[in-house]
Amino acid sequence: MNSVTLTIDGKEVAVTKNATILQAARSVGIKIPTLCYHERLNPIKSCGMCIVDIDGSADPVPACSTPAAEGMRVATHTDRLIRLRQDSLKMLLENHPLDCPVCDKAGECTLQDLVYELGVKDITTHAPRPSTSAVYATTLIKYWPQRCITCLRCVTACKEIKSIGALEMKSTEDGFNQLSVNTETCVSCGECLQVCPTGALTENISRTKGRSFLVKKVPTTCSYCGCGCQINLNVLDNQVVTITGRDDAGINQGSLCVKGRFGYEFIASDQRLTQPLIKRDGKFEAADWDEALDLVASKFTQIKNEYGSDAIGGLASARCTNEDNYLFQKLMRAVIGTNNVDHCARL
C-alpha cells in the first residue's frame, strides 16, 4: 500500500507513506503550531512547538519529523502539550527583548503570534543578551542578536536552499549562541532574511520599512533577468519600501537574488531624469517631450531609409517595468522592423 490511515484529534486522515504527522494534520486543516519548521527545509526540531501525543508513547514527539503510521492515534492540543509549548516559549522569551512596538517584524512575527495564541504572560525572568559589536556580512541586512531565538532556520536555508553554507551558530564568551557569517562566501541574497521567523534579521535599506498590515503587496515578476522570479512589491505611501519573495507562486518559491530583493532604491531616487535631454554641441540640454520624440523619430526614419531596419538596435533596461520593456521590444520589432533587441539583465 502507498498510503496509511491515522486518527488525529478524532479525525481519520489518509496520507501517502513517508508523510509526517504535521503534513497529515495540515492536509485536513488541523493546525499544529510551529516555529523552526519551514516547508522548504528538512526538519530542524529546535523549538519544541509542534510536539504531539501518540497513544502508547509516554513522551510527546515532534510532529514535523515523526512519520505517520497505520492506525496511529494522535492528539495535538492536550493540556500537557499546551503547557509544554508555553514553557518552551517562556524559555525563549527569557533572553528575548520585549520590544515588539519598535521591531520591524511586529505584525508578521511567528514568535509574537504564538505568544498571543498560547496566552503566554508573566515572564518573570528576563535577562537581555549583552550588546554586541558583531557586523553582518552585508550592509543590506541588519542582524539583531538579542532577538535571535537560535531556531537555525537561517543557517539551514543558507545550506539547503542556496547551497552556500555561509552561516553558522557559534557560542560567545558570554555563553550565548550568535550567528556567524563567512564574508567570503555570503552573496547577500537575503534567503536568511526571508525565512527568519522573528525580527533577528531585518532589511537595512529603506528608512521606512512599513509594517506588514500597513503596506500594499503588489505581485509582479522581477525584471532583473529571464528567470521570471515572482516577487511582492511592498508599497507604502506610493513608494516601494521592501521587496519579498512570494511563497505561493513561481519558479523561485520565495527565493531571490541580491538584485531582486534589494535592488529597488532607484525607483524613488532623486537622481532620476524628470525630462528629456538632447545633446547639443557635446552637452545635454533639457528639452520638452514633443521636441525629443520628433528628433528620435526623424533620426530613426533617416537611418532606416538609408541603411535598412537592421542598422538600428535597441537596448532595454532591467530598471524599467516589465510592461515598458514589453512595449519597447514591440516598438523595435513591429514599428522599426528589427530583431536587434538586447537587455542588460542577465545572470
Q: What share of the chain is helix, strand, coil (3-state, %, to 5)?
A: 25, 20, 50
Same domain assignment for residues 336 and 291: yes
Nearest CA-CA partner of 61 in 39, 42, 84:
84
Q: What domain range includes position 261?
A: 205-272
- Rounded to whole angstroms, the Cα distance separating 179 from 144 reads 10
Would you say 102 and 190 are in contact if contact means Cβ atoms under 8 Å apart?
no
Question: Is 88 within a domain?
Answer: no
Domain boundary among 77, 92, 123: 77
User: For the chain, which residues score pLDDT lower than 50?
Assistant: 347
Instruction: Report how many helices (DSSP H) and strands (DSSP E) the chain contains, helices first.
Output: 8, 16
- Rounded to whole angstroms, the Cα distance separating 126 from 156 reads 28
Domain boundary among 272, 302, 323: 272
Same domain assignment for residues 66 and 14: yes
Three cell numbers written together for 223: 525584471
Question: Is 288 within a domain?
Answer: yes
> Model's pTM, two decimal places?
0.84
Question: Is 70 within a domain?
Answer: yes
In the chain, the number of structural domains is 3
Domain boundary among 272, 299, 322: 272
Same domain assignment for residues 286 and 321: yes
Question: pLDDT at position 130, please?
Answer: 56
Q: Which H or E element spans position 54?
A: strand 51-54
Question: Is 101 within a domain?
Answer: no
Question: pLDDT at position 225, please?
Answer: 84
Q: Which H or E element spans position 245?
A: strand 239-245
Same domain assignment for residues 56 and 17: yes
| Residue for grid cell 535599506 | 205
For the domain that residue 49 is a member of, what is the CATH number? Answer: 3.10.20.740
Question: Is 227 within a domain?
Answer: yes
Same domain assignment for residues 263 and 315: no
Q: For 20, which DSSP code?
A: B
Q: Supply φ then ψ for residue 296, to 5 degrees.
A: -60, -45
- Rounded to whole angstroms, the Cα distance separating 18 from 7 reads 16
Same domain assignment for residues 242 and 286: no
Distances (CA, A) of 340 to 116, 186, 284, 321, 331: 58, 37, 26, 20, 11
For the domain that residue 250 is a member of, what is the CATH number? Answer: 2.20.25.90
